[in-house]
Amino acid sequence: MKKMYIVLSDGHVFEGKSFGAYGESLGELVFTTGMVGYIETLTDPSYYGQIVMHTFPLIGNYGMIKKDMESASSVVKGYVVREWCQKPSNFRSEGDIDSFLKENNIVGVYDVDTREITKIIRENGVMNAYLTPDPSLIDKSLLNNYVIRDAVKSVSTQETAVYSAEKQNYKVALIDYGAKMNIIRELNLRGCTVYCLPYNTSAQEILDLNVDGIMLSNGPGDPTENVKPIEELKKLLGKKPIFGICLGHQLMALAAGGKTEKLKYGHRGANQPVKRLSDGRVFITSQNHGYAVIGDSIDKSIGRVSYINANDGTCEGVIYPEINAYTVQFHPEVCSGPLDTKFLFDTFISMMGGNK
């Protein structure tokens, strides 16, 4: 088996072995703590520009399953695991993870101490990394200066797509900043025909669709990079019920005059505790984000923080009663993790008029 190396921007070098595509790759190295859900992780557009590392030691044991994918392909810059299962066993399996990585030209590294690398990131924060067969040949200036750019533009749909509900009660505009397919599935299940729109769709074009509500999707990158989408979102405030998830939560806060910040190493995994401030109840949630809304920046005349992360106190949700909108940082639509917060989709239905 060919050797592969992980070169971190702080100077650490780890020797491993190659799987997936063979070659070099540069990206921002992040870790995720989910024990299951590697298919959803690999196909989540929110990981654009990033090298994904799993803390769970064995990945690939139930193979690859197309129906569980959150998008048609993968946009991760690289993939790092402790061990990958070469002979998956599951009645739904349609292939193995090594073949999937090769098909999507994703460089993979295994047989490295992922625990040690995770400790480094937790202490120093997310950092850039090179995956390479020869660490002596890397361009250190590229490694140090790598920045994820045009993330939303790179993953958003290029044209409007319509996903019809079996029995339509509502029409929902889903602004695609990097949307996961299960957002559409959850809306369809509740009688919503979904118009999946490019990230740069104008406010007037959205209003012309005469939808009952607007959904702001998850997505990758620095939320402040999306200057024009934020300006269009400002024009939609108060016009229709709005529900935002992850990046949609951050963009909504920016449109309403709030601010965001980059976290030291982010929240990624299916075991993040979130506290609802109205009654103190804690939910276990799935998350994938490197930025957060600054709770104190929310204009209290139109919004208030509704959820916080139980580990670090960061903002996990905002409710905007004056403009009939609410947003959450976590993922209520998640397939592979806890289902505790799917009721938020029902809340959105109620905002549009309730069950018909």
Assign 3-state DSSP to the chain and report helix, strand, coil percentages, each to 5. 25, 30, 40
DSSP string, 50-104: EEEEESSSEE-TT---GGG-SSSS---SEEE-SEE-SS---TT--S-HHHHHHHT
| Catalytic residue selected from 28, 40, 70, 246 | 246
Whole-angstrom distance, CA of residue 331 vs CA of residue 246: 7
Q: Answer yes or no: are the C-beta atoms of 128 and 99 closer than 8 Å.
A: no
- Amino acid of residue 221: G
Task: Determine which one of 186, 232, 333, 335 is catalytic.
Answer: 333
- Whether 54 is a known active-site residue: answer no
Tokens for 142?
């590229």
Nearest residue to 270 (alpha-carbon basis) of 66, 27, 40: 40
Q: Each residue of 148-166: b (16+ CB within 10 Å) or e?
A: beebbbebbbeeeeebebe
- 2 vs 108, 115, 222, 349, CA distance in Å? 11, 22, 35, 53
CA-nearest of 271, 270, 331, 264 to 292 is 264
User: Using a CB cutoff of 8 Å and minimum separation of 24, what contacts does 316-320 make?
Assistant: 316/274, 316/275, 316/285, 317/249, 317/274, 317/276, 318/249, 318/252, 318/253, 318/258, 318/293, 320/237, 320/242, 320/252, 320/256
Beta bridge partners of 287: 269
Whether 331 is catalytic is yes
**54, 249, 267, 331: which is the annotated catalytic residue?**
331
- Residue 137 per-residue DSSP state: G
Catalytic residue list contains 315:
no
Active-site residue set = 246, 331, 333
